[in-house]
Amino acid sequence: MDVIVIEGGKPLKGSVTISGAKNSALPIFAATLLAPGEFTLENIPDLMDVRTIIKIITEFGCRVRKNGADGYTVDSTGVNNHEAPYDLVKTMRASCLALGPLVARLGRARVSLPGGCAIGERPIDQHLKGLSALGARIDISHGYVDAHVEGRLVGKHITMDLVTVTGVMNIMMAAALADGQTVIDNAAREPEVTALADFLNAMGANIRGAGTPTIVIEGVRELKPARVTNIADRVEAGTFMAAAAITGGDVDVCGVDPVNVGAISDKLRECGVTVEENGRNIHVRGGERIIPINVTTAPFPGFATDMQAQYMALMSLADGACVITETIFENRFMHVAELRRMGADITVSGKSAHVRGVKKLSGAPVMATDLRASASLAIAALAAEGETTISRVYHLDRGYEHIERKLMSLGATIRRIPGGKP
């Protein structure tokens, strides 16, 4: 397994262009299952999770071709298989995004239940509640969810028990091809939900209200292929912003909608970081000292759980103490033990981490435990004294395109050792 070695202590300087968003690319690939024909997808990041969703839709009968540097052509004419096997699903929870489109198009979907996950239990009961409200019969046996409908799905008023991003996406995709109107209340407002709704509308769907808590979907008889340019990855952008801040650097984070990183920009400003927006570029300059500021994660437009670990790395060098509260996932503090190995002073009590800023972090061998935890370790390593070796970087590769190339272009000293042997 590859490891990444980072020699810390250099302020990042320069500009970095943000790649396409992983969490909108995945549902966009899933949505191609809804209509036969040839789709053109652009600004798709080259990531492990993207390769996994491509394998999954290929399993269902899509033909996927790379098209230029960051594009794909998906021909979904031959979709005829409705089963996603455990071997594929176990590597990525977002595989369950195939459920809604397949049951809507083929009347049947059999997808292995995703198991537990490093950051929490992550059930999919809300996905299933929604599909069942639309008329799908749901059976769970032998570790698989089997969703089945005779004829077409039928629109319904659905109130989500909690805010779920992929849950709303699944229901929205299924409802796009249902008979009649579906209303989803208490819907997730994440930009990736809006991006998916825009793509579905380009396919001929009739969806309004995405980005608000109430989404209204007028079902249509059929959808057609479309072309889409994926949005930029707000979590990658936020990660580079935090990296610029912790190293006292000066970085232009380019190509991202500032509204989508509004909560992180606001928080960084409170911490004494200069954050200036200029169109789709965000200029970030680290301050003299890092001011400790509490944060509580929340669904969009609140502070994203996907930025909690990176923010904690920054707070570990703050001039004082703060509390970071995680409200979305029950086990998303696994980076704490690794940050402590680098000299951070953090204790966890229930949903909150108490971070007492230290004067310096020191490089150490650490282990990535999930995607955003590994980003947090990389950020801490950039500011630490000496060398940090991060193992299990396949987690990082699931969500950050060309991470070492991008960091190197900003002046970081970073190298990957394939297979982990120095």
Residues that bind ligand EPU (CB under 6 A): 23, 26, 93-94, 120-127, 162, 164-167, 188, 192, 305-306, 328-329, 371-372, 399
| Minimum distance from residue 64 beta carbon to ligand EPU (Å) | 18
254 labelled catalytic: no
CA 54 and chain centroid, separation:
17
Three-class SS of 3-58: EEEEECCCCCEEEEECCECHHHHHHHHHHHHHCCCEEEEECCCCCHHHHHHHHHHH
| Minimum distance from residue 345 beta carbon to ligand EPU (Å) | 26
| Minimum distance from residue 129 beta carbon to ligand EPU (Å) | 7
Helical axes 234-246 vs 371-383, angle rounded to 10°: 20
CA distances from 98 to 27, 30, 321 (A): 8, 5, 44
| Minimum distance from residue 366 beta carbon to ligand EPU (Å) | 18
| Between 252 and 397, CB nearer to ligand EPU | 397
Look at the block and give the residue holding tokens 């912003």: 241
| Between 1 and 117, CB nearer to ligand EPU | 117
Q: Which of 62, 117, 254, 322 is catalytic?
A: 117
Query: How are strands ordered across the β-sheet holding 352-356?
Result: 295-296, 321-325, 352-356, 345-349
Contact (CB, 8 A) for 394 and 369: no
| Between 252 and 306, CB nearer to ligand EPU | 306
Buried b or exposed e, range 317-338, using 16+ CB within 10 angstroms: bbeeebbbebbbbeebbbbbeb
| Minimum distance from residue 87 beta carbon to ligand EPU (Å) | 19
Number of neighbours of residue 12 by Cβ within 10 angstroms: 25
| Between 93 and 110, CB nearer to ligand EPU | 93
Q: Hey, what are 56's tokens?
A: 């999954």
| Between 14 and 115, CB nearer to ligand EPU | 115
Q: How far apart are CA 167 and CA 196, in angstroms?
A: 13
Residue 87, C-beta contacts closer than 8 angstroms, at least 6 positions apart: none
Q: Hey, what are 223's tokens?
A: 């959808």
Query: Could you give the residue numbers annotated as active site?
Result: 117
